[in-house]
Amino acid sequence: MREGGKGENMRVVQLGCGITGLVCAEHLARNSKVDDLILADAQTDMIEALARRIDNDKISVMKVDATDIGSVKELLKDRDLIVSSIPGELNKKVIRTAIATGIDYVDFSLPVSSEEEFEELLRLGQDSDITMLTAMGSDPGISDIFAMYAASKLDRADEVHVMDGDSATAEGYELFTLWSPLEMLEEATTPAAIYKDGEIIMVPPLSKKEIYEFPEPIGPLPVYNTLHEETYLIPRFIESIKYVDFKIAIDDDFARVANVLRKVGLHSLDPIDVKGAIVRPLDVVVALMPRTVDMIGKVKGHAAVVVEMLGDKDDKRTIVKIWTMMSHEKAYEMCNSTATGYLVGTGGAVGAEMIIAGEIKDKGLVLPEQVPAEKFKERISEKGLEVEEETHILN
């Protein structure tokens, strides 16, 4: 592998070209330090449409099944960097393939499902000579970096709230999500994690609700605590922190459906026999829902990531609030996407570009909290994600 950040251009693979991967791919295709870019997915129709739309001769298209690790290993041959925007469960194998191949790695969500798997990934990173930047999307990703930036503005930070808001509407659709339907329904039917006084507390799914006032033009939305990486990652890097939670805006109708699915077992990913066919119940539900790509160009409204950090500044109780927001209409105009796809894909692309530019030099497992916050803010602003911040004294 060639070492980035020394004037040498890079050979990059984008594995997984759904709604977030395509946004990331478009950014990378326009990066002057990327020599060539392989876009790989099991379905190539959307990649080919992107290649036609932006007409960039760096791009080549490959049909690859990410579950076939042999094919993934072959894909990575003679590459410098892989950006993987496939489901986290599949990334568990891809990140190990990147280590074995010796190329740098970026993904959009943490590829572990337990503390034991996280510790194992840390150990693997210590023994490797690659940069493994994980959880580098919107939330997690942008949210974690905002939290570190906000904490730097205080003398002591002790409480952080991460809010994901979306006012999306789509005519003709009663029930939809702009994130992966499978992952969103998993999130809504799984106990939520809250960090409090040095330990993780689990609360029942969708049991903690409030109305949160997002920046205009979004305004008030119902939000619920759900299971998210920030709750586990932020306390590792802010020693004084006492409380971390994550809340996401979920429409009341969606919440009711998620609760019914959980109560009757349709949220399960354990295979069952249905008249001789082996299926996972949640897969059946997801198959009946609109795909995120089906919503492109049909959605109105805004999406936002907001971080509120509470602590002390000059012996006064202070809150630092930082956020970014985009309309779905603007995302469609800029990148043929939704704001959700744009936020996640841009967070991942900027992480990759910072590795390419030598702005992230750490080897082993790198988390968003370790990304230089000022440079990151500058880069996402250049890509149309304006960053706003406010500081208020509470006493």
Give the model's pLDDT for residue 7: 44
Give the model's pLDDT for residue 124: 86
Mean pLDDT across the chain: 93
For 1-62, the three-class secondary structure string (H helix, E strand, C coil) is CCCCCCCCCEEEEEECCCHHHHHHHHHHHCCCCEEEEEEEECCCHHHHHHHHHHCCCCEEEE
By DSSP bridging, strand 243-249 and strand 192-196 are: antiparallel
pLDDT at 55 over 80: yes
Convert the pLDDT of each residue in 141-152 to its tens digit: 999 999 999 999
pLDDT at 113 over 70: yes
Give the model's pLDDT for residue 369: 97
Spatial distance between the Cα atoms of 15 and 31, rounded to a whole number of angstroms: 17
Give the model's pLDDT for residue 4: 43
Of the given ranges (99-103, 125-129, 343-347), which has the lowest mean pLDDT?
125-129
pLDDT at 106 over 90: yes
pLDDT at 300 over 90: yes
pLDDT at 317 over 90: yes
pLDDT at 172 over 90: no
Average pLDDT over residues 61-80: 92
Give the model's pLDDT for residue 9: 81
Convert the pLDDT of each residue in 209-260 to its tens digit: 999 999 999 999 999 999 999 999 999 999 999 999 999 999 999 999 999 9
Spatial distance between the Cα atoms of 159 and 367, rounded to a whole number of angstroms: 20
- Predicted model pTM: 0.93
126 near 132, Cβ under 8 Å? Answer: no
**DSSP one-letter string for 72-123:** HHHHTTT-SEEEE-S-HHHHHHHHHHHHHHT-EEEESS-S-SSHHHHHHHHH
Domains located in the chain, CATH noted: 10-138+341-382 (3.40.50.720), 142-336+384-393 (3.30.360.10)
At 3, the pLDDT band (50, 70, 90 cuts) reads: very low
Average pLDDT over residues 344-368: 96
Q: Please tell me the number of Cα atoms within 13 Å of 235 on its side-chain side.
A: 18
Spatial distance between the Cα atoms of 393 and 352, rounded to a whole number of angstroms: 36
Give the model's pLDDT for residue 116: 87
At 5, the pLDDT band (50, 70, 90 cuts) reads: very low
pLDDT at 328 over 80: yes
At 180, the pLDDT band (50, 70, 90 cuts) reads: confident
At 1, the pLDDT band (50, 70, 90 cuts) reads: very low
Average pLDDT over residues 348-371: 96
Give the model's pLDDT for residue 362: 92
286 near 190, Cβ under 8 Å? Answer: no
At 339, the pLDDT band (50, 70, 90 cuts) reads: very high
Give the model's pLDDT for residue 8: 65
Rg for the chain, CA atoms, rounded:
20
Most confident of 40-49, 58-67, 150-159, 294-303: 150-159
Give the model's pLDDT for residue 344: 96
